[in-house]
Amino acid sequence: MGLLTFWHNDKAVERLMEAERQGMLQYACYRLGNLDDAEDVVQDVFVRFYQLQSEGGTGIKNPSAYLFRMLANLCISRQREAGRYVTVPLAGQLEPANPEAEDFDWEFRRINQLLTDIPKEQAEIIRLRFYGDKSFREIANILGLTLTTAKSRFAYGMEKVRRRMLASHSV
């Protein structure tokens, strides 16, 4: 389907949004810390994307990548507006009362703390890979990087996270 055909086909836009919704919701949830905020921001992205589509949507070659870039930017804006851009030191109280529990809040804080300690560019790739369920090629398109750069930033970031996790367990 060509770019012009895509933009003038509401059904194609709806299919794209439905296909990307779950990955976007999961990514936003781990960026913002709760499901309600994540649903709001994903809905805002879809509204903006649909408005852009209605106005012609010219120049967007990869709509999926564009959606995720909009989502990442909107998550960052929401965190700044709310004054809750989370940066908690790793040495804080992390263990839940029941370590076996699948507690999202605890998991979110732990992951966010680990990702806060590495360069933002590496953390973003890790989030897109695990929470956005994106391939390295898709991540490279979303962030405007080469495939090699996306893979190497992921590898470097994961190594830093691994070292931080090992250091926190040896304390």
pLDDT in tens, the chain (171 residues): 334 344 456 787 788 889 999 989 988 988 888 888 999 999 999 888 888 877 776 677 888 888 999 998 999 888 888 765 444 333 444 444 444 445 666 777 778 788 888 999 999 999 889 888 899 999 999 888 999 999 999 999 999 988 888 887 665
Out of 27, 53, 86, pick the residue that ends a domain: 86
**Side chain identity at residue 140, one-letter code:** A
Residues 140 and 73 both lie in one domain: no
Instruction: CATH number of the domain at 105, please.
Output: 1.10.10.10
Those residues whose C-beta lies under 8 Å from the C-beta of residue 19, and which sit 6 or more positions away, are 64
Q: How far apart are CA 147 and CA 66, in angstroms?
A: 17
Q: Are residues 116 and 77 in the same domain?
A: no
The verdict on 46 and 106 lying in the same domain is no
Tell me how many domains the chain contains: 2
| Of the residues 52, 86, 120, the one at which a domain ends | 86
Please indicate, yes or no, whether residues 47 and 72 belong to a single structural domain of this protein: yes
Determine contact, residues 143/152, Cβ cutoff 8 Å.
no
Q: Which of 56, 86, 116 is the last residue of a domain?
A: 86
Check whether residue 77 and residue 123 sit in a common domain: no
The pair of structure tokens assigned to 87 is 């940066």
| Contact indicator for 34, 86 with CB cutoff of 8 Å | no
In a domain, 96, yes or no: no
Lookup: tokens for 129: 């890979």
- Domain assignment of residue 92, yes or no: no
**CA-angle at 18, arms to 47 and 15, nearest 5°:** 95
Shared domain check, 133 and 169: yes
Q: Are residues 106 and 69 both part of a single domain? A: no
Torsion of CA 150, 153, 154, 155, to 10 degrees: 120
> Considering only CA atoms, which of 131, 159, 152, 18 is closest in space to residue 72?
131
150 & 118 share domain: yes
Please name the residues in contact with 113: beta carbons below 8 A apart, sequence gap of 6 or more.
88, 89, 90, 92, 94
Residue 93 identity = Q
Confidence at residue 89, expressed as pLDDT on a 0 to 100 scale? 39
Token pair of 141 as six digits = 């398109």
Q: Within this chain, do residues 69 and 145 fall inside the same structural domain, yes or no?
A: no
80 part of a folded domain: yes
Calpha distance 52→56 (Å, rounded): 7
The CATH number of the domain where 37 resides is what?
Answer: 1.10.1740
Domain identity same for 124 and 57: no
Domain, as residue range, for 10: 1-86
